[in-house]
Structure 1
Amino acid sequence: MKPGNLHPAQPQATAPKNKSRMDWPDIAKGISILGVVLLHVALAIPGGQDTLLSQLNSLLDPLRMPLFFMVSGFFAVKVLNQSFGELFQTRLWFYIVPYVIWTPINLYFHRLEGTIFTGREPGTLDWYATSFFLSTNMYWFLYYLTMFNLFLWATRKLPGWAIATLVASLWLLMPAFGEVELLRKTIIYLPIFLIGVYFRPLIIRFAEAATKPKTIVISVALYVAGLALGVISKTMQNAQNHGATILWLMKLRDDFAHVLGGELNGFEMDHLPGTIIRIISLPAGIMLCVWLARIGPVGALLKFLGRHTLPIYIGHALGLSLIFGFCIRWNFMEIDNNAESMWHHTPIWMGIAFACAMLGGYLIHMLSRVPVFGWSLVPPKLPFLSEKPAPQVEQQLNAPTTSQGVR
């Protein structure tokens, strides 16, 4: 399928030749949620980002959230043929309810932890409202899934070139609104979500060929090219002395931004190569997931995590705050990597924090099984649409996650 011939009504799911290879979407979600938890654990522990495990996890930066959004788009093809009522019933309702209920809870306890133990000012009503409505919080993935599905539905009858133009035109807003996280994340992840939707048949065929030498070489080459582009981008940002060509490009950038009523700094410009890096890294991510599906215990574990991403997504943040933060971190944690006792070493505390995060996910999973309380994660069908079959909530919701600090 060529992008130029793309039409929103065309994507159709094709039956995979080998069912086991279609385990890869669950494995993709499992890798992503595991990487997200490890990232937040590393941010919670002093020196955590310098550990070997964290450094290995950083290699997933181009894949962590892109895999989530691509798989979410992969399962959003039905939106193209739905009415708005069907869209709301089968998707938006199941994103909005957990976000509305759990985001204020997480914001409150996260802020309260800082207030009690570090003396940070309590959160104001304005801070809570801004964090909630602009989604600068731990559960931002649910917020963006809602927006992206609405965009997909609203543009479903447009030709491919028009959709691509709309997405690309968001860059015209960057000079004036580049500091808005909502715009930045949309610019990076909306194209990836749409790739999952409109290139689903191509993705399926690619996954079926993921064990062939040619596919492996292409995937690895694209991933390495993405890493190289990232290094070049960072080098250009941090260079002290710019040559004539770089200075000319910087002036061109500034003139362009001025015409659009703002300015673009190096961090904001980095979103362009960042988006390219994430897109060209997707083949390697798919290939990795297909290969992991062949490794029995590892594949089974990642599939299990991938099928329970919603409770892990919601619960790991609360586990880090309520279990680790309130009960352990500020009462017992002491980091001294030169100490003889291993209980003062960063890797040990990384393990403790990770266990607390996963315990939070398990407790939220158990809560989802409690009548009425479980509706906060998987709400009941809407009464006025109750005659329709129950949506596959696990498939719809368990594509998400993560949080502040996720790149």
Structure 2
Amino acid sequence: MSAQKRLVWPDVAKGISILGVVLLHIGIGVPEGESTWLYQINTWLDPLRMPLFFVVSGYFSTKILQYTLRDVLIKRVWFFLVPYLLWVSFELWTKNLEWQWVFGNEPLTWRELGLNLLLGHNMGWFLHALILFNLALVAVRKLHPALAMLISFAPVLLLPLNEHFYFVGKAVMYLPLFFMGVYLRQAITTFVAAVCRLNVAALSFAVITYAVGYFSRGWWNQFTGEVALPWYLPGMDYMGHEEVLLMVRFVEQTFQLPMALVLAVGIAYVPYVSNFFAFIGRNTLPIYLGHPIALTVGYHYIQIVGKWEISMDGETLLQSTWFWTIVCMGLSAAGGLMLWSVSKLPVIGWTVYPPSLPQIQQMLMRAPVLRPTSGKD
């Protein structure tokens, strides 16, 4: 029997997601980077980017419904936890050095590092989210799917904590989408198959839902003043602008998900382009963890020394927003390549892709035991 062929569209979807994240970080980091057309295109993809990633992650997590807590810890959480603890810590250390030089910050303490990692207040927050989302999924695995889906909306109850714990907002927006990927896997598969056949009903559904999401955000953007809606649960009296925006963004991205799937499926049929996005999607982890380190060391450290006045109208190459945008794209690629190369090294590569815990146990059992000599040798 031949091996099952790997689906292309999920890899393309993850490739779109990670490239969008990289472009976002570049646009924010380079002065006036938000004015480039690359950033503007990425803004259009914003409601599709991370939702698509978490739906695809859930799509391939249905096996967790058969896992015990021990299974999910050793077969899933372990593989997220090791690179998260090691490489995010390294990224935080490099970024803290920049802040020391620029703002005079104090060196990063172990306590600050630990709290940062625990709360997910860092560039690797998506790994932090996947760890907690997998644990949440195994916790509700025996419940009826409808009840489990309802529970995935529970982070809304924690909205009063959003100002202090940023992960609350991430959970509000992405935990239900992760659960959708799990419990609506068959529906997603059927929809994708219909899109592949250019089914008019499926394509029309994607267009209509996208329009609903788009206009819901447009309606919200009309409210430029302070917003306050009553909150009837403990923790706060009113939902402010940021809390309401989280809900609006969730509605926007949920309704636009069908179009995001159409986009991923469509790109999967484009020769060469699909190969590029699929390759990126298969290497999401080293790119995601490697690019912020490369941007900090290769761009921000250099800017501290050079002190160039960068703008879209820069008179010289080193003062040009576009020049540094392109440089940062190269640095991001180099950062991903660096971490991918590290993953191929013996032992050190385990920091990116750790071996399974049973494998480690077997290696330890096979390791030679050093016995004390008798003193007669």
* TM-score, with structure 2 as normaliser: 0.88
Answer whether contact 1:114 1:120 (CA < 8 A) is retained.
yes
> CA 1:177 to 1:311, structure 2 compared with 1: closer, same or farther past 3 Å?
closer
Q: Offset of 1:104 from its aligned partner?
A: 1.3
Say if 2:310 is the partner of 1:335. Answer: yes
Q: Which residue of 2 aligns with 1:9?
A: none
Counterpart CA distance in 2 for 1:294 and 1:49 is 31
Q: Which residue of 1 aligns with 2:93?
A: 108
Q: Offset of 1:57 from its aligned partner?
A: 0.4
Say if 2:253 is the partner of 1:278. Answer: yes
Query: What secondary structure is seen at the aligned counterpart in 2 of 1:233?
Result: helix
Amino acid paired to 2:218: V
Say if 2:228 is the partner of 1:256. Answer: no
Q: Which residue of 1 aligns with 2:322?
A: 347
Answer whether contact 2:153 2:175 (CA < 8 A) is retained.
no
Q: Which residue of 1 aligns with 2:65?
A: 80
> CA 1:225 to 1:119, structure 2 compared with 1: closer, same or farther past 3 Å?
same
Answer whether contact 1:323 1:360 (CA < 8 A) is retained.
no
Structure with higher Rg: it is 2
Counterpart CA distance in 2 for 1:297 and 1:261 is 52
Say if 2:276 is the partner of 1:301. Answer: yes
Structure with the larger RCO, 1 or 2 (CA within 8 Å, 6+ apart): 1
Counterpart CA distance in 1 for 2:111 and 2:36 is 37
Q: 2:32 aligned to 47, 61, 64, which one? A: 47
Residue by residue, what CA displacement relative to the aligned partner does 1:58-108 show, whole Å, maximum 9, x if unpaired?
A: 111111111111111001000001222222222111001111111211111
Bigger shift: 44-53 or 113-122? Answer: 113-122
Amino acid paired to 1:367: V
Answer whether contact 1:175 1:262 (CA < 8 A) is retained.
no
Query: What secondary structure is seen at the aligned counterpart in 1 of 2:107?
Result: coil
Answer whether contact 2:152 2:179 (CA < 8 A) is retained.
no
Counterpart CA distance in 2 for 1:262 and 1:169 is 19
Answer whether contact 2:149 2:179 (CA < 8 A) is retained.
no
Bigger shift: 313-322 or 215-224? Answer: 215-224
Counterpart CA distance in 2 for 1:196 and 1:113 is 39
Query: What secondary structure is seen at the aligned counterpart in 2 of 1:180?
Result: coil
> CA 1:299 to 1:364, structure 2 compared with 1: closer, same or farther past 3 Å?
same
Amino acid paired to 2:230: D
Q: 1:95 aligned to 53, 73, 80, which one? A: 80
Counterpart CA distance in 1 for 2:161 and 2:238 is 7
Counterpart CA distance in 1 for 2:113 and 2:35 is 32
Counterpart CA distance in 1 for 2:15 and 2:123 is 18
Say if 2:206 is the partner of 1:219. Answer: yes
> CA 1:293 to 1:333, structure 2 compared with 1: closer, same or farther past 3 Å?
farther
Q: Which residue of 2 aligns with 1:391?
A: none
Alignment map for 1:53-68 (pairs within 5 Å): 53-68=38-53
Residue by residue, what CA displacement relative to the aligned partner does 1:136-162 show, whole Å, maximum 9, x if unpaired?
A: 001011111011111111100111332
Counterpart CA distance in 1 for 2:150 and 2:59 is 21
Q: Offset of 1:165 from its aligned partner?
A: 3.4
Q: Offset of 1:255 from its aligned partner?
A: 5.2
> CA 1:371 to 1:333, structure 2 compared with 1: closer, same or farther past 3 Å?
farther
Q: Which residue of 2 aligns with 1:234?
A: 221
Residue by residue, what CA displacement relative to the aligned partner does 1:123-180 show, whole Å, maximum 9, x if unpaired?
A: 3444323211101001011111011111111100111332233233332222355542
Answer whether contact 1:368 1:377 (CA < 8 A) is retained.
yes
Answer whether contact 2:31 2:311 (CA < 8 A) is retained.
no
> CA 1:234 to 1:382, structure 2 compared with 1: closer, same or farther past 3 Å?
same
Query: What secondary structure is seen at the aligned counterpart in 2 of 1:371?
Result: coil
Q: Offset of 1:30 from its aligned partner?
A: 0.3
Residue by residue, what CA displacement relative to the aligned partner does 1:258-291 show, whole Å, maximum 9, x if unpaired?
A: x555542111111112111111111101101111
Say if 2:324 is the partner of 1:324. Answer: no
Answer whether contact 2:312 2:322 (CA < 8 A) is retained.
no
Root-mean-square deviation (Å): 2.3
Counterpart CA distance in 2 for 1:357 and 1:375 is 22
Q: Offset of 1:373 from its aligned partner?
A: 0.5
Counterpart CA distance in 1 for 2:96 and 2:173 is 28
> CA 1:165 to 1:293, structure 2 compared with 1: closer, same or farther past 3 Å?
closer
Answer whether contact 2:161 2:168 (CA < 8 A) is retained.
no
Counterpart CA distance in 2 for 1:229 and 1:105 is 40
Counterpart CA distance in 1 for 2:158 and 2:64 is 27
Counterpart CA distance in 2 for 1:204 and 1:195 is 12
Q: Which residue of 2 aligns with 1:130?
A: 115
Bigger shift: 76-85 or 165-174? Answer: 165-174
Q: Offset of 1:337 from its aligned partner?
A: 3.4
Q: State percent identity of aligned pairs.
A: 34
Amino acid paired to 1:148: F
Q: Which residue of 2 aligns with 1:269?
A: 244
Q: Which residue of 2 aligns with 1:187?
A: 172
Q: 2:17 aligned to 25, 28, 32, which one? A: 32
Query: What secondary structure is seen at the aligned counterpart in 1 of 2:354?
Result: coil
> CA 1:368 to 1:229, structure 2 compared with 1: closer, same or farther past 3 Å?
same
Residue by residue, what CA displacement relative to the aligned partner does 1:357-401 show, whole Å, maximum 9, x if unpaired?
A: 1101101110111101100011112137868xxxxxxxxxxxxxx
Counterpart CA distance in 1 for 2:293 and 2:214 is 33
Answer whether contact 2:54 2:181 (CA < 8 A) is retained.
yes
Counterpart CA distance in 2 for 1:326 and 1:178 is 30
Q: Offset of 1:341 from its aligned partner?
A: 3.2
Counterpart CA distance in 2 for 1:203 and 1:385 is 37
Query: What secondary structure is seen at the aligned counterpart in 2 of 1:97?
Result: helix
